[in-house]
A = this chain, B = another copy of it.
Amino acid sequence: MQSDLKRIVSKLHSGMRIAVPVDYAGVSMALTRPMIEAGLRDLDLVCVPTGGLQVDMLVGAGCVRSVETSAVSLGEAGGAPRFNAAVKEGSIKVIDATCPAVHAGLIAAQKGSPFLPLRGLIGTDVLANRPDWKVIDNPLSDQKDPVVLIPAIHPDVAIFHAPMADRHGNVWIGRRRELAPMAYAARETYVTVDRIVEGNLLADEMTGAGVLPALYVSAVAEAPKGAWPYGLWGEYPADVDELKRYAAAARTQEGFDAYMSETAQQGEPA
């Protein structure tokens, strides 16, 4: 199991652009520490569409070059301390987005299209700070009708956690459909799951309806409760106390370092 996680991490390299999901959609916390231990550097993270603990830890551990995101926070546990500090220091580049723009970029990649148009945005400082986004006049309108084009987002890798997968590599993502465009858009997709099940999840219409097919999945590793301290929809709730404990500790870099080394041997919770 740990070796499966290490095998996945061995496929990751410094400088990669990595897409990770929103806190409630299935964050592969199980891969976070192995990524840090592997000494990855200069990662460009794409939060789909917002980030949390995983992003904050990777930033705190010095793995991150840039974060494209619509927000980073620890939710109920407050702001993301290492992320916020790094932004203020200018030690990472933050590329502010808005949620539907992240989705639009991934769906453009899903469709093999160069961009997707998105309403809104005009007049915002979000747009003003995105030289990669472009305002054009809607070519299908007779009237002046400015609209923003969001270029396709092609991550090198997508990483997430899900309840289950089968041995064929089919992953059950249920109604968390945003995980599918992440995988469609990425070159490689690595998934941790609470459990590996027998049989073929595609063989049945009911389970098949919630499956990301193996076609898009590079590797799966079993990691029970691998979203902890985040929760996993339909499986277990977030461990808010642990999130708060992290939030308090990580207010300083020293506190963060201490938290990370104290919890290093801890592994998954009982």
Chain A interfacial positions (CB closer than 8 Å to B): 100, 104, 107, 111-119, 132, 134, 136, 138-141, 145, 147, 149, 151, 172-175, 205-211, 233-234
Q: A104 contacts which chain B residues (CB < 8 A)? A: 111
16 A/B residue pairs, CB under 8 Å, sorted by A: A112-B119, A113-B116, A114-B117, A114-B140, A115-B117, A115-B139, A116-B117, A132-B140, A134-B140, A136-B139, A174-B205, A174-B206, A175-B209, A205-B233, A209-B210, A210-B210
Contact A234 B207 (CB under 8 A): no
B114 and A145 contacting across the interface, CB-CB below 8 Å: yes
A24 to chain B, nearest CB (A): 13
Quick one: copies of this chain in the complex? 2
Docked pose: A129 CA to B151 CA in angstroms: 28
Q: Decide: A208 near B175, CB < 8 A? Known: A111-B104, A151-B140.
A: yes
Closest A-B pairs by Cβ, 8 of them? A209-B210, A205-B234, A174-B209, A175-B209, A113-B117, A174-B205, A136-B139, A209-B209
When the two chains form their complex, are residues B134 and A114 in contact, meaning their CB atoms are under 8 A apart? Answer: no
Tell me the smallest distance from the CB of A101 to a CB of chain B, in Å.
Answer: 11
A112 to chain B: closest residue by CB: B119
Asked if B116 contacts A111 (CB within 8 A), the reply is yes
Contact, CB under 8 Å: B138 / A115: yes
Instruction: Determine if A174 and B208 form an interchain contact, defined as CB atoms under 8 angstroms apart.
Output: yes
CB distance from A237 to the nearest CB of B (A): 14
A175 to B180 CA separation, bound complex (whole angstroms): 13
CB-CB < 8 A to A139: which residues of B? 115, 134, 136, 149
A114 touches which one: B138, B173, B205, B209 (CB < 8 A)?
Answer: B138
| Chain B CB within 10 A, most for which of A117, A118, A141 | A117
Known: A112-B119, A134-B139, A174-B209. 16 other contacts (CB 8 A): A111-B116, A111-B118, A113-B117, A113-B118, A114-B117, A115-B138, A139-B149, A140-B151, A173-B209, A174-B208, A175-B205, A175-B208, A175-B209, A175-B211, A205-B233, A209-B209
